[in-house]
Structure 1
Amino acid sequence: MTKENETIIKVNQQFPLTIKRLGINGEGVGYFKKKVVFVPGALPGEEVVVEVVKVHPKFSEAIVKKVRKRSPFRVKAPCPVYEQCGGCQLQHLRYDQQLNEKRDILLQAFERHTKFNVEDLDIRETIGMEDPWKYRNKSQFQLREMNGRIVAGLYSLNSHRLISVPECIVQHPATNKVNNAIKQIFEDFKVPVFNEKTKKGIVKTIVTRVGVQTGQVQVVIVTAGEKLPRKEMIAEEIKKRLPEVVSVMQNINPRQTSLVFGEKTLNITGKEFIDEKMNEFTYELSARAFFQLNPEQTVKLYDEVKKATALTGKEKIVDAYCGSGTIGLWLSDGAAEIRGMDIIPESIEDAKKNALKHGIQNAKYETGKAEDILPKWLKQGWSPDVIIVDPPRTGCDSKFLQTLLKIKPKKFIYVSCNPSTLAKDLQAISHMYEVKYIQPLDMFPQTAHVESCSLLVRKEK
């Protein structure tokens, strides 16, 4: 086809479309005259009429105007603000089919970003939840003043329009209760909410985390500056109305950024952490410490990591991007030694405390980047048999992957929350490591997020 008669798609154009798959963000994917069209809310197998809202060089975005043929897996989303909020993407898809589609999202990532023959890859069935609701142990709700009332919620997808979410059905009930009570306390104490346009006001965000097994709740009040008038009185009122809140912290974030937390955290009242239990382990979680948002699925995830390591008691293990040391501690009874690192000092302090509390003497933790610390240990004559990573959505740092290839552990276990960066990272080390299998897990039901645990083994030359 020549450029002269090539199909041009225009904004506001309407046309019929058959949806082939789900995209990585949970949107329907169809092809109009060989051009990719992304349609939020449309499901695989559906025939829809769409209207184009944006045109990009390689794809277009459209909205559903009419569903001509419905998917047999389409259900009514139970959340009243589902379509406005943007926090969930798949409530309108029956849960068992969500699990199938998440496996396919992983498959697509490897098709798009790697040279692997995907038919040869062992991508297993997604491990789901019996009850895929009320699972999130932490909420981060932005605040805004509207018509004299304080509203807490989430930004609508790709916008800065705040959607009020008084009752989020994927959040643990304790976080909903605490958020609503604190909003009322802020109103009662006339606490000024930060206004992004005028740059006036104080409180930006309420972060609430619950220890699901312990019932303990921590509240972090994120402010634009250090000033928080009558904060001791506010904290006392929180404790009076919400006895389950055992920790009230203030985090200062003066920057205009998508990051919720700033660098400085102050204790207002109570403990500086809450406790959470998983199996025989109790973890101390401070305000900025990373901890998985779905404890029930986290147990399954860590058991998958344990299965992949297949420890005999002799192995030296590195837990990179270790957070508060949760994965390493899970494996400690089967390893000769665990060493972990993370760039957040508070996380490393939590990891040390957690190891000490459980009498685990074969664990060592250090603040810093894995790509800096691993070569130092190697020079000291210490090399690991297994390296485990659980990096952020951006994936592994390229320097870390280069370091991995120099150190050459027998096994590399990659816990991923982003199929695209997982695929790219595994492609980068594929000349030295063989992908034995990839096990997807559903850590975030009703959303398009896919967690996975991949086992890689060093190739024998």
Structure 2
Amino acid sequence: MTKKKNHGFKKSKNKQHQTEKQNSKQSPPQGNRKNSKTKGKPPTTDKRSHGKKNAPVEVTCSGLTSEGKGIVRWEGKQLEVANLLPGETAEVIVSKKGRFFNTELKRVINPSEDRAHPPFAYYHEGTGCHIHHMNDQAQKRFKQNVIDELMKPFGKTEPIITMEHPYGYRNKNVMTFGLNNKRQIISGLYAENTHQIIPMERSIIHDPKADEIIQTIKGMMKSFKMQPYNEDTGQGFLRHVLIRVGKMSGEIMVVLVAASPVFKGKNNFVKTLRNTHPEITTILLNINDRNDSMVLGNQEKVLYGKGTITDTLCGLEFEISANSFYQINPVQTEKLYTRAIEMAGLTGEQTVIDAYCGIGTIGLVASKRAGKVIGVEVNKGAVRDAIRNSKRNGVKNARFYQGDAGEFMVQMAERDENIDVVFMDPPRSGCDEAFLSSLIQLKPKRIVYVSCNPATLARDLRILEDGGFRTKQVQPVDMFPQTNHVEAVAEIVLDV
């Protein structure tokens, strides 16, 4: 019989790490620091080693933060330790930096039954796979607890929809290139809140073929005298490689993100890459000469193929460009969209607004059951993609407009237009006050809110309920297994 454990969590006192949204709401994949398996002595609590600077101390984990870090007590202080589970005793190195304490897990003395044994040993919690040390059931409980706690004021949440095979699901991967201390070319991901590249060759959540192609490109760079870009000196050529994979179509896009449009030997480079990977269907050169954190620049040139790939989602075919927002996990997206359409209660007659419509995915899926769909998106390129996808699928009852969704809805309210349903899928920061005010002014009969951040969902639900709406149900969906992110869709009705 499995022993009952404490799987509760507490709100983290550290600042929450905000993942940048660039064309997707996503969490970064993991790095390659090895996760050691250990056996050891019986558990003890809060034993300290004296006389040695930064000597390991023995602690016992009492719970989890909302980011999935273990909670321990040490010298009267509550600390957080990544990769530690409730009930586990471990050796941890504690160091002080200013007013804050840093922790590093050295070894687990008594592993929990909830500890996972991933397919391979790559691990570094600083690059996004925060909870892959939890097995599937532990991840499910953890994420359910997170969403339940945040949604308490709005009623009981539904059981989370999990993924049967929670590995290799990402259809978009970005790797950054640089040099290590030995002047060797490396590819990997930035550790969170730093510009330090964590070298990696493989991630359990990346598409395996995408990782393979990136390693081929890294291997080609020396023979083509291609240097990685150095942010400090402004020298070098290759900054990132972005790969998109059509999970249903099998089509693959490779985007070389460079600091300069001058690409010597590009024809031979493309030919060599395609000889090694004939499955690649298009290759682009994207120019990013900025000094900010955005991956893609505004200039791009097609080096091979048509410059886009296609993929199928919920029975519709979508054309995807380098900049397109397209959900990262198509298997779970179909489950999410199915629940969203059910919540909308569409009968074939309703007028629907798809706010933050992107390339039109959820609006076009909803068009099968709606009377009319109006998509609004501030990004011109995304609107062009949405119109193209509408024509590709023969959808006649959807129209897409470029502009601010909030302003668009205010204008509709002033014209006294009747809207039945609003779909909204905002970024991690949620909706701004102006948008929510316009929604309250428009008074649709029903709102379907797709959220990738339960904390901002809870904040926005409170504003909507104060404005005359009622939260009917909240359905969590595990869109990003192995990470601490939780997606949810909420049904909100006009409280009349």
Task: Please indicate, yes or no, whether the TM-score normalized by the shorter chain is above 0.5.
Answer: yes
Match of 2:82 among 40, 48, 66: 40
**Cα distance, 1:318–1:82 mapped onto 2, change above 3 Å:** same
Is the contact made by 2:430 and 2:451 (CA closer than 8 Å) also made in structure 1?
Answer: yes
Q: Distance in 1 between matches of 2:229 and 2:117?
A: 36
Q: Report Cα offsets for 1:414-441 as digits up to 9, x if no partner.
A: 1111121111111222222211121111
**Cα distance, 1:441–1:56 mapped onto 2, change above 3 Å:** farther
**Cα distance, 1:21–1:351 mapped onto 2, change above 3 Å:** farther
Q: Distance in 2 between matches of 1:15 and 1:389?
A: 48
Map 1:138-287 to 2 at 5 A.
138-146=172-180, 147=182, 149-287=184-322
Consecutive unaligned residues in structure 1, runs of 5 or more: 1-10, 111-115
Does the alignment pair 1:63 with 2:121?
no
Report the residue type matching 1:139 in the other structure. N
Report the residue type matching 2:65 in the other structure. G
Is the contact made by 2:252 and 2:309 (CA closer than 8 Å) also made in structure 1?
Answer: yes
Q: Distance in 2 between matches of 1:318 and 1:39?
A: 44
Report the residue type matching 2:475 in the other structure. Q
Q: Report Cα offsets for 1:92-127 as digits up to 9, x if no partner.
A: 1111210111111223434xxxxx53xx62212111
Following superposition, the deviation at residue 17 of structure 1 comes to 5.2
Secondary structure of the equivalent of 1:188? Answer: coil
Partner of residue 25, structure 1: 67
Q: Considering only aligned residues, what root-mean-square deviation do their CA atoms show, in Å?
A: 2.5
What is the TM-score of this pair, normalised by structure 1?
0.88
Does the alignment pair 1:338 with 2:373?
yes
Following superposition, the deviation at residue 214 of structure 1 comes to 0.7
**Cα distance, 1:106–1:334 mapped onto 2, change above 3 Å:** same
Is the contact made by 2:270 and 2:304 (CA closer than 8 Å) also made in structure 1?
Answer: yes
Report the residue type matching 2:122 in the other structure. V
Match of 1:73 among 108, 114, 137: 114
Partner of residue 329, structure 2: 294
Does the alignment pair 1:390 with 2:431?
no
Match of 1:132 among 166, 169, 175: 166
What is the TM-score of this pair, normalised by structure 2?
0.83
Is the contact made by 2:251 and 2:310 (CA closer than 8 Å) also made in structure 1?
Answer: yes
Q: Report Cα offsets for 1:312-356 as digits up to 9, x if no partner.
A: 111111111111111111111110111112222221111111111
Q: Distance in 2 between matches of 1:81 and 1:270?
A: 34
**Cα distance, 1:82–1:276 mapped onto 2, change above 3 Å:** same
Is the contact made by 2:68 and 2:142 (CA closer than 8 Å) also made in structure 1?
Answer: no
Partner of residue 24, structure 2: none
Q: Distance in 2 between matches of 1:31 and 1:104?
A: 22
Match of 2:447 among 379, 393, 412: 412
Q: Which moved more, 1:425-434 or 1:61-70?
A: 61-70
Q: Distance in 1 between matches of 2:327 and 2:136?
A: 21
Q: Distance in 2 between matches of 1:256 and 1:70?
A: 44
Report the residue type matching 1:316 in the other structure. T
Following superposition, the deviation at residue 67 of structure 1 comes to 4.3
Q: Which moved more, 1:156-165 or 1:174-183?
A: 156-165
Does the alignment pair 1:455 with 2:455?
no
Q: Distance in 2 between matches of 1:452 and 1:364?
A: 26
Match of 1:434 among 451, 466, 470: 470
Identity %: 33
Q: Distance in 1 between matches of 2:186 and 2:280?
A: 21
Does the alignment pair 1:92 with 2:133?
yes
Q: Distance in 2 between matches of 1:181 and 1:169?
A: 18
Partner of residue 5, structure 1: none
Consecutive unaligned residues in structure 2, runs of 5 or more: 1-52
Following superposition, the deviation at residue 277 of structure 1 comes to 1.0
Following superposition, the deviation at residue 33 of structure 1 comes to 8.6
**Cα distance, 1:412–1:56 mapped onto 2, change above 3 Å:** farther
Secondary structure of the equivalent of 1:348? Answer: helix
